[in-house]
Amino acid sequence: MRLVLLGPPGAGKGTQSARLQDKYKIPQLSTGDMLRAAVKAGTPIGLKAKAIMDAGGLVPDETVVGIIAERIDEPDAKGGFILDGFPRTVKQAEALAAILHAKHMDLDAVIELVVDDGALLARIEKRAQESIARGEAVRADDNPEAFKKRLESHHAQTAPVSAFYASKGALKAVDGMAPINDVSVAIERALHEGARVASATR
């Protein structure tokens, strides 16, 4: 099962990824975790990334893509993987397609958790108010203004990625505002539909 999970912050990707990991016994691959692991392991790409980060720079697409190409060759990813937080841009989506093609692999599905921005912001504001009422500091993740900026950044970057996969008939939209169990059921349904489409086109 090779899966890309898209969705804004607060959409529940972490919760659903954990359930999919448990069910299919496949790793969730986060670009941040992979970068740190490559740096720690001292791989050629990891050393390159470390030099860039130590200099205060942003790790370029080709380096991130190289780290993903290395990671999906590891034994625990042979049965599949969940990509969370990647691809963030159409350029990255195209690079991922090239990697998989070179390895004779396909994505089984691209699932987007669709959420209502207003409802998400209301949820964050409520949590912030509850923290203040208890006399606690508001967590960084629960700062409404910061969260709003993260949402805007996500939509600006990732909306074209959704369109890219939709144009290829690969995107499955799931209502991320539904109860957690309902979202899990909808994801399973989307995965099985995707598998049927893939087998019918081979």
- C-alpha distances in angstroms, 3 versus 28, 81, 95? 9, 6, 15
pLDDT surpassing 60 at residue 199: no
The pLDDT mean for the chain works out to 87
Q: What is the largest CA-CA distance in the chain?
A: 59
168 annotated active-site = no
pLDDT tens column, 136-148: 988 777 788 888 8
d(CA 199, CA 100): 17
Q: Are 172 and 194 in contact, with CB atoms under 8 Å apart?
A: yes
| Strand order across the 171-175 sheet | 28-30, 81-84, 2-6, 109-114, 171-175
Q: Out of 48, 71, 88, 172, which one is annotated catalytic?
A: 88
Nearest to 117 by CA among 179, 181, 176: 176
Annotated catalytic residue, options 40, 103, 139, 149:
139
Q: Is 71 considered catalytic here?
A: no
Find the catalytic residue in 36, 123, 127, 148: 127
Predicted structure pTM score: 0.80
List pLDDT tens digits, range 14-36: 899 999 999 999 999 988 788 88
Q: Which two tokens stand for residue 46?
A: 């990891």
Per-residue pLDDT reduced to its tens digit, 127-178:
889 989 999 988 777 788 888 888 888 888 888 999 999 999 999 999 999 9
Task: Please state, in angstroms and rounded to a whole number, the distance separating the CA atoms of residues 26 and 145.
Answer: 35
Whether 36 sits among the annotated catalytic residues: the reply is: no
Q: What is the pLDDT of residues 64-74, one digit of tens each?
A: 888 889 899 99
| 134 belongs to the catalytic site | no
Q: What three-state secondary structure class fits 170? A: coil
- Using CA atoms in the order 153, 28, 58, 166, what is the torsion angle rounded to 10 degrees? -50
Question: Residues 13, 48, 71, 172: which is the catalytic one?
Answer: 13
Percentage of the residues of the chain whose pLDDT score is greater than 90: 46
Q: Which of 36, 50, 91, 150 is catalytic?
A: 150
> Mind listing the pLDDT tens digit for each residue in 65-120?
888 898 999 999 999 999 987 898 899 999 999 999 999 999 999 999 999 999 88
Task: Give yes or no: 202 in active site.
Answer: no
